[in-house]
Structure 1
Amino acid sequence: MSDRVLVIGGKGTTGQRVAHRLEATGAKVAIGTRRPMDPRDRSFDWADPASVAAFDGCSAAYVVAPTDRTDHLDVMRPLLEGAMARDVRRFVLLSSSLLERDGPMMGAAHDWLADSAPEWAVLRPSWFMQNFSEGPHARTIREEDAIYSATGGARVGFIDAEDIAAAAVACLTSSEPLNDDRILTGPEALSYEDAAGILSEVTGRTIRHVALSTRHMALRFEEQGLPPDYAGILAGLDDTIGTGVEDRTTDGVAQLTGQAPGSFQAFATDNIASWQP
């Protein structure tokens, strides 16, 4: 559909994969990043009005919300409006399976895009498998043989970021816009205890799931450098998972890409080096 796509957060977990897959299709890619270093990089910070220039010459954008605040639409709307004024037509927003349209955080941006953008899609993935290999669990698995959560024994349809990227590229390049949202999951729902068991099998070590209270989980996030309000929301999402709302799988990935999503077992096998002490 588009000959140049701005990938916001193009060096992050999903963004770098989206950029790679877009380039494989022959699309031109610009990377929106706070620290531009390469020729295709464009300076982008949601809090900086000058970042609207990053959309110049683009007809589509992969949109990742800021991770250091909770009032997403307030800070995103001016730049999204500026993008539309620069003839960006298609927007693919990364949201979350737990965030409904017109809900908090990305849910508000979802609602606004649905009402305002010429062409749009909202991807609502479950929790990333890469949280175990690149995100907050990677260090504790390596150093403590432990995974911490406030989810109890509830199950989650963990999804590989590669499958999210494949879905995003399908939405960005299709001849017709999706103009809808999709909940994306992996092929099976697993508890953190189940995930720890698979990681134990793959690594040959005993990996524990340490169940925390919501409050103690929030304190852990704060210790990792997150603002207290954002840490509280993330810990609250763990608490929500504990009610069982993420105990599901969908065919969203297959609907968009024509391919089944990868399993946690395959992910763990492919990423065993991530957990070497």
Structure 2
Amino acid sequence: MNSAATLVIGATGTTGSRTIARLTAEGHRVKAAGRQATAVPGAEPVAFDWYDPATHAAALDGVDRVYLLPPLGDADPAAVMLPFLRQARVGGVRRAVLLSSSAIPEGGPAVGAVHRVLPELFDQWAVLRPSWFMQNFTGTHAHAVSIRTEGVIRSATGSGRVGFVDAGDIAAVAVRALTNAHAPNTDLVLTGPEALGYDDIAAIVTETTGRRVVHQRLTPEQMRDRHAREMPLEFATMLAQMDRAIAEGAENRVTDTVRRVTGGPARGFRELLGASPAG
């Protein structure tokens, strides 16, 4: 067993928490990085803030691989991520696994710039490019809140379809990418087993929970303005453009990556709701 630790950034987040749980269950040493250094079972908590370089050295101490969650809501994450990654390489990190998005190609906007540089920094690497999370419709996420409080899912996706993916499957792939003898050294597009439109999602939530839920179709401009109430305009605009891309068919695909990497099937949305009701 490797005696060095794996640094997981975003330790209490949707994918980070699941990745840590799987790593520690397999006996790996983990440093759980977050702004508050929150205690995570089986892991060593460590304070980490992308925007505070003073926290970076301690987080990297004793680490040889890292799971990278970009700073949330930052339209130019490369500005803070690349100096950290150069420091990580010099400090002995050999493998880096970056969480990106199926909507953002190598060299694309935001984290796409980090994706482009990652292979130049590390001989062992992977970029996870999951489709939209199924968990966006559960817990405290915006869609889940509007489902519970209003019976509405709002999007600018029209009739476009998405291969929604379970965060648990993303974590399962992340663990294999971090710990297998050979790193993927490529990007991995992750989806669930079927592509669904937001009308389909509303119908499945209605069927599963017994609460009537409808999909309210907005224009990209309306969606941008709603997002802009909660985040910087530049990031709100990017999210609205992603919805527009979905409407135009950009996410209407299904891959076998989860099964190919983990050996198990990707979880479907109905199966997820059976364990995690949205309403």
Per-residue deviation at 1:118?
2.2
Q: 1:113 aligns with which of 97, 118, 123?
A: 118
Separation of aligned partners in 2, 1:162 and 1:169:
11
How many residue pairs are counted as aligned between the two chains?
273
2:79 aligned with 1:74: yes
Say what the alpha-carbon RMSD is for the aligned residues: 1.2
For structure 1, the residue ranges without an aligned partner over 5 or more in a row are none
Which residue does the alignment assign to 1:194?
Answer: 200
Q: Cα deviations across residues 56-81 of structure 1 (Å, max 9, x unaligned)?
A: 10111000101131111111011111
Cα distance per residue 1:210-262 (max 9 Å; x no partner)? 01111111121122x21111111111111111100100100111111111100
1:252 to 250, 257, 274: 257
Task: Check if 1:123 corresponds to 2:128.
Answer: yes
**SS of the residue aligned with 2:267?**
coil
Q: Secondary structure at the match of 1:159?
A: coil
TM-score relative to the length of structure 1: 0.96
Q: Say which of 31, 45, 59 aligns to 1:41.
A: 45
Superposition deviation, residue 51 in structure 1: 2.5
Gaps of 5+ in 2: none
The one-letter amino acid paired with 2:191 is: T
Q: Distance in 2 between matches of 1:65 and 1:133?
A: 22
Find out whether 1:262 has 2:263 as its counterpart: no
**Partner amino acid for 1:78?**
P
Counterpart residue identity of residue 268, structure 1: L
Distance in 1 between residues matched to 2:95 and 2:191, nearest whole Å: 23
Find out whether 1:23 has 2:24 as its counterpart: yes
TM-score, normalised with respect to structure 2: 0.95
Following the alignment from structure 1 to structure 2, what is the Cα–Cα distance between the partners of residues 51 and 87? 17
- 1:209 matched to which residue of 2? 215
The answer to whether the 8 Å contact 2:85/2:121 transfers is: no
Q: Which runs of 4+ in 1 moved over 6 A?
A: none
Shift of 1:37: 3.4
* Correspondence for 2:88 among 74, 83, 90: 83
Asked if 1 retains the 8 angstrom alpha-carbon contact of 2:15 and 2:171, the reply is yes
Counterparts of 1:22 and 1:173, CA distance in 2: 9
Match of 1:56 among 52, 55, 61: 61
Instruction: Give the distance between the partners of 1:182 and 1:32, measured in 2 at CA.
Output: 24
How far, CA to CA, are the matches of 2:27 and 2:188 in structure 1?
Answer: 25
- The aligned counterpart of 2:10 is 9
**Code of the aligned partner of 2:221:** R
Write the mapping of 1:164-183 to structure 2, written as runs, cut at 5 A.
Answer: 164-183=170-189
The alignment-based identity, stated in percent, is 45
1:65 equivalent in alignment to 2:66: no
Question: Which residues of 2 match residues 213-232 of structure 1 at below 5 A?
Answer: 213-223=219-229, 225-232=230-237
Which residue number corresponds to residue 161 of structure 2?
155
1:235 to 235, 240, 246: 240
Q: Which amino acid aligns with 1:228?
A: L
TM superposition shift of 1:85: 1.1
**1-structure distance, mates of 2:163, 2:224:** 22
Q: Secondary structure of the equivalent of 2:117?
A: helix
State the partner residue of 2:148: 142
- Is the CA contact (8 Å cut-off) linking 1:114 and 1:179 kept in structure 2? yes
SS at 1:175 equivalent: coil
Q: C-alpha distance in 1, partners of 2:53/2:123?
A: 22
